Amino acid sequence: MPPSEHQERDLELRSILATDCGSTTTKAILIELVDREYRLRVRGEAPTTVEAPFEDVTVGVLNAVREVEELSGRTLIRDGAIIRPQSGDVGVDAYVSTSSAGGGLQVMVVGLVRSMTAESAERAALGAGAIVMDVLALDDGRRDYERIERMRELRPDMILISGGTDGGEVRRVVEMAELVAAANPQARLGASYELPVIFAGNSAARELVTGALERATQLTVVDNLRPSMEEENLGPARGEIQELFLQHVMAQAPGYSKLIDWTDADIMPTPAAVGTLIEAVAAREGINVVGVDIGGATTDVFSVFDGTFNRTVSANLGMSYSISNVLAESGIANILRWVAAHPNPNDLSNDIRNKMVRPTTIPQQMLGLMVEQAVAREALRLAFAQHKMLASELKGVQRQRDISDAFGAGGAETLVNMMRLDLIVGSGGVLSHAPRRSQAALMMIDAFEPRGVTRLAVDSIFMMPQLGVLSTISDTAATQVFYRDCLVPLGSCIAPVGSGRAGNRCMTITLRGPGERSEVAVAVGEMKLIELPADERVEVTIEPARGFDVGEGRGRPVEATIAGGTVGLILDGRGRPLRLPGDDAQRIHAIRSWERALGVYPDSVLTQRLDEEAAGL
Kindly identify the residues of this chain, within the stretch 337-366, that bind another protein according to CB under 8 A. Answer: 346-347, 349-351, 353-354, 356-366
Q: Say which amino acid occupies 100.
A: S
Closest contact distance (angstroms) between CB of 361 and another protein is 5
Instruction: Report the nearest approach of another protein to the CB of residue 371 (Å).
Output: 10
Which is closer to another protein, CB of 247 or CB of 316?
A: 316
Q: Which residues pair with 560 in a beta bridge?
A: 540
By beta-carbon proximity to another protein, the closer residue of 205 and 530 is: 205
Among 57, 244, 369, 445, binds another protein (CB under 8 A): 369
- The DSSP result for 190-238, as a single string, is -TTSPPEEEE-S-GGGHHHHHHHHTTTSEEEE---S-SBTTB---HHHH
- Strands, sheet with 15-21, edge to edge from the N-terminal-most edge strand: 37-47, 25-34, 15-21, 94-99, 268-269
Residues 11-50 interacting with another protein (rule: CB under 8 A): 23-25, 43-48, 50
Choose between 77 and 328: whose C-beta lies nearer to another protein: 328
Cβ-based nearer residue to another protein, 182 or 385: 182
Cα(557)–Cα(551) distance, rounded to whole angstroms? 9
- The residue among 212 and 538 lying less far from another protein, judged by its C-beta, is 212
Distance CA 417, CA 405 (A): 17
What Cα–Cα distance (Å) separates residue 438 from each residue in 289, 400, 488, 513, 521? 20, 45, 12, 24, 21
Q: Minimum CB separation from another protein for residue 611, in Å?
A: 15
CA distance 142 to 512: 61
- The mark string for 190-229 relative to another protein (x by CB under 8 A, - otherwise) is ------------------x--xx-----------------
Name the helix (H) or strand (E) containing 312: strand 308-314
Question: Smallest Cα–Cα separation from 271: which of 381, 128, 394?
Answer: 128
CA gap 252, 299 in Å, rounded: 26
Name the residue nearer to another protein (CB basis): 90 or 357: 357
Applying the rule CB under 8 A, the residues between 242 and 261 that interact with another protein are none
Query: Contacts with another protein in 111-170 (CB under 8 A)?
Result: 144-145, 148-149, 170
Instruction: Tell me: does residue 101 bind another protein (CB under 8 A).
Output: yes
Within residues 525-564, the interface with another protein by CB under 8 A covers none
Distance CA 279, CA 386 (A): 20
- Position among 188, 226, 388, 437 found at the interface with another protein (CB under 8 A): 437
Candidates 173-181, 218-226, 390-398, 544-552; binding stretch for another protein (CB under 8 A):
173-181
The CA-CA-CA angle for residues 375, 380, 384, to 5°, reads 150
Sheet holding 537-544, edge to edge: 516-523, 505-513, 537-544, 558-563
Residue 98 sits in the site that holds another protein (CB under 8 A): no
Nearer to another protein, 227 or 296 (CB): 296
* Smaller CB separation from another protein, 67 or 119: 67
Interaction between residue 78 and another protein (CB under 8 A): no
In angstroms, give the least distance from the CB of 14 to another protein. Answer: 24
CB of 495 to another protein, least distance (A): 24
> Are β-strands 268-269 and 289-294 bridged in parallel, bridged antiparallel, or unpaired?
unpaired
616 is a contact residue toward another protein (CB under 8 A): yes
The answer to whether the CB of 288 falls within 8 A of the CB of 302 is no
What's 86's DSSP letter?
-
Footprint on residues 483-512 left by another protein (CB under 8 A): 488
Residue 321 in contact with another protein, rule: CB under 8 A: yes
Please state the φ and ψ torsions of residue 392, each to the nearest 5 degrees.
-130, 170
**Is 325 an interacting residue with respect to another protein (CB under 8 A)?**
yes
Pairing of strands 452-459, 558-563: unpaired
Give me the least distance between CB of 26 and another protein, in Å please: 11
| Least distance (Å) between residue 313 CB and another protein | 14
Q: Which is nearer to another protein, 10 or 45 (CB)?
A: 45
Say if residues 254 and 86 touch (Cβ distance below 8 Å).
no
C-beta of residue 540 within 8 angstroms of C-beta of residue 560:
yes
